[in-house]
Structure 1
Amino acid sequence: MKPVHLLAVALLPLTATAAHASSDSAWSAFQADVSKACVTAAKGLIENGRALADPYGSEHFGLAVVTGNAKGAKVTISTICVYDKKTKRAEIGGEIPADQLLVKP
């Protein structure tokens, strides 16, 4: 066998394991964890926050947008949240007015 083929055969079990490492239920639990941590992190800025979490995040971080009423005001705002997958801690960015957070196809 050629060395390249040996390497491919040696790595095959690792790729199979990685593909099965995260199930749909694990990704759903991850989204729920990110959402909960981000809403909690945003409590000083947003009342009754709701989070929209990226289903998978990046390699090291969960990502979400938290939206709700600005604390002590009747205006809707959002903030961007980053959730560290390793430490399970969330941090938020600054206030984004609702009229500036628009996504159009």
Structure 2
Amino acid sequence: MRTTLAIATILSATFAIEAHASSDDAWGAFSKDVSKACITAAKGLIDNGKAVVDPFGSQSYGLAVVTGKAHGGKATVSTICAYDKKTKKAEVGGEIPGEQLIAKPAK
């Protein structure tokens, strides 16, 4: 009986660790997808954009702020991006001046 309980406990802990690692991998992949899609969607507005991604987004959308140099200009600007989790398409809002909003992406 004790052996069975010990084996069950070990297996349960092993599956929990694997599920957590898998979940972390999935969220990491999701974040990369949102970042790539949002930077691409912002190309006509922002040159060399960098994205700061909300790690989980909302129920329906991945969310990010893309920051960089205004297209064809020198000013730093940002835009808000929504990434549809179902269609995997991103849309950006308008240009937000640097003094109003700047997201500092990790290097």
TM bucket by the smaller chain?
Answer: 0.7 to 0.9
Matched with 2:73 is 73
* Structure 2 CA distance for partners of 1:55 and 1:83, relative to 1, 3 Å: same
* Correspondence list, 1:5-84, <5 A: 23-84=23-84
Normalised to the residue count of structure 1, the TM-score between the two structures is 0.76
TM-score (structure 2 length as normaliser): 0.75
How far does residue 26 in structure 1 lie from its aligned partner after superposition?
Answer: 0.3
- How many residues are paired up? 85
Structure 2 stretches lacking a partner, 5+ long: 1-18
- Aligned-pair CA distance for 1:44: 0.3
Q: Which residue is equivalent to 1:87? A: 87
Percent sequence identity is 70
Q: Is the 8 A contact 2:42 2:49 kept in 1?
A: yes
RMSD: 1.9
Deviating 4+ runs (over 6 angstroms): none
